[in-house]
Amino acid sequence: MQLSAKKIAALLDGTVEGDPDVKVDRPSKIEEGGEGSISFLGNPKYEEYAYSTTASALLVARDFKPKKPVQATLVRVDNVYGAIAQLLERFGEAYERQPGISGNAAVAKEAQLGEGVTVGAFSSIGAGSTIGAHSIIHDQVYIGRDVTIGAHAILYPGVRILDRCQVGDHCILHSNVVVGSDGFGFTPQEDGSYKKVIHVGNVILEDHVEIGAQSAIDRGTMGSTIIREGVKMDNLIQVGHNVEIGAHTVIAAQTGIAGSTKIGKHCRIGGQVGFVGHLEIADGTQIQAQSGIASDVKEPNQALFGYPAFAYRDFVRSHAVFKRLPELYKKLSALEKAIRPPSKP
């Protein structure tokens, strides 16, 4: 898809400075540029690149005053970051699929597909399942029995939605996500072996949830594992049985949440964080990457860090001393020698 600077300015409510007919077919970073691309100057610390970039067009703020000559055609807008996001959406449209059901898909007669649904090759949709209007089921996706998928959802190749799980409207599940695997529940037997606890619950993803590639969401033992509206999860995340994640919480890659833990709304959780099971985490909690959360967080909007985690600031101060522990040890030994305290104080 090619767009002229003039067309882009019209789209973004901007003004052109330079050749209004120059054409671009992709966005680029200002430090990478490239002919035929449109770049952007958002952060002033990249300003130098504006004078050397090879991009054909450049999005800049309405009030940007160049200190040197700029080769690229300028498109001036009110909000550079908002404009670039809008432009990404426009370029993204070029890659959209035409709806239709592949002749190589296995769709059960008893499944119901809404208007404008896409189903790719080698995908299975089981009996009793429903796919909402305009949802895109890519190739090689598995949708079990009695599953509900909302409208305008996107399931990338290799996604598995097991029996009786529910996926809301506008959800995006990236490749190889598993929704509805059994939780990790076993009863120890007298002979030292373990007996499986049968899992009859399900998983509910509310609307506008996005889940990263290779993540796994276990079903409830009974009842549901629930991911609330607007939650965004990165790749390779583990969510145990009967976990609940509050609305608009974001979680970075490789984090794991053990069974029955409840995480609040609007939390921000770093990568590789671990939560033990049966915790309650207050709304607005912020957790640094790699932290280990082993107890409830009762007060909202705290920042935590460490393994096991405590207050972010306190961890940072303790860690600063940790780095100097060998020095501390020497000082203490020197003091001991100097004083020779009585052995029985």
For residues 119 and 102, the answer to whether their CB atoms sit within 8 Å is yes
The candidate with the shortest Cα–Cα distance to 182, out of 218, 234, 150, is 218
Instruction: Give me the least distance between CB of 342 and a second copy, in Å please.
Output: 7
Among the listed ranges 9-17, 64-72, 295-303, 321-329, the one in contact with a second copy (CB under 8 A) is: 321-329
Contact (Cβ atoms closer than 8 angstroms) between residue 35 and residue 56: yes
How would you class 179 by CB atoms within 10 Å of its CB: exposed for 0-12, middle for 13-18, buried for 19 or more? buried
C-beta contacts of 95-102 below 8 A and 24+ residues apart:
97/136, 99/134, 99/136, 102/139
Interacting residues with a second copy between 177 and 196 (CB under 8 A): 178, 181-182, 184, 186-187, 192-196
**Residue 274 sits in the site that holds a second copy (CB under 8 A):** yes
What's the closest the beta carbon of residue 65 comes to a second copy, in angstroms?
26
Q: Is 303 an interacting residue with respect to a second copy (CB under 8 A)?
A: no
| 241 assigned to active site | yes
Comparing CB distances to a second copy, the nearer of 67 and 143 is: 143
SS3 content of the chain, % helix, strand, coil (to 5): 15, 30, 55
Residues facing 262 on adjacent strands = 244, 280
Q: Token pair for residue 190?
A: 């007298």
Q: How far is the CB of 47 from a second copy (least distance, A)?
A: 18
| 322 lines the binding site for a second copy (CB under 8 A) | yes
Site for a second copy in 12-41 (CB under 8 A): 26-29, 32
CB of 34 to a second copy, least distance (A): 9
Please answer whether residues 163 and 127 qualify as being in contact, where contact means their C-beta atoms are separated by less than 8 angstroms: no
In angstroms, what is the minimal distance from the CB of 87 to a second copy? 9
Q: Which of residues 95-134 bind a second copy (CB under 8 A)?
A: 95, 102, 104, 106, 120-122, 124
Q: Is 339 in the site for a second copy (CB under 8 A)?
A: yes
Distance in angstroms (rounded) separating the CA atoms of residues 154 and 268: 24
User: In degrees rounded to 5, what are phi and psi of residue 308?
Assistant: -65, 155
Rg over CA atoms, the chain? 27
**Nearer to a second copy (CB atom), residue 93 or residue 115:** 93
Please report whether residue 51 would count as binding a second copy according to CB under 8 A. no
Q: Among the options 138, 174, 241, 319, which is catalytic?
A: 241
Cβ proximity to a second copy, 51 vs 186, nearer residue: 186
By the 8 A CB rule, do 28 and 42 touch? no
Residue 188: which residues within 8 A CB-CB, separation 6 or more? 194
The answer to the question of residue 280 lying near a second copy (CB under 8 A) is no
Nearest distance from C-beta of residue 67 to a second copy, angstroms: 26
139 binds a second copy (CB under 8 A): yes
**Number of residues engaging a second copy in binding (CB under 8 A):** 113
State the DSSP code for 44. G
- In the set 73, 166, 176, 225, which binds a second copy (CB under 8 A)? 176
The footprint of a second copy on residues 206-235 (CB under 8 A) is 208, 210, 212-216, 218, 221-223, 230, 232, 234-235
> Is the backbone peptide bond immediately before 308 cis, with ω within 30 degrees of 0?
yes
Cα(241)–Cα(185) distance, rounded to whole angstroms?
9
332 touches a second copy (CB under 8 A): yes
Residue 168 CB, shortest distance to a second copy, in Å, is 14
Q: Which residues are catalytic?
A: 241
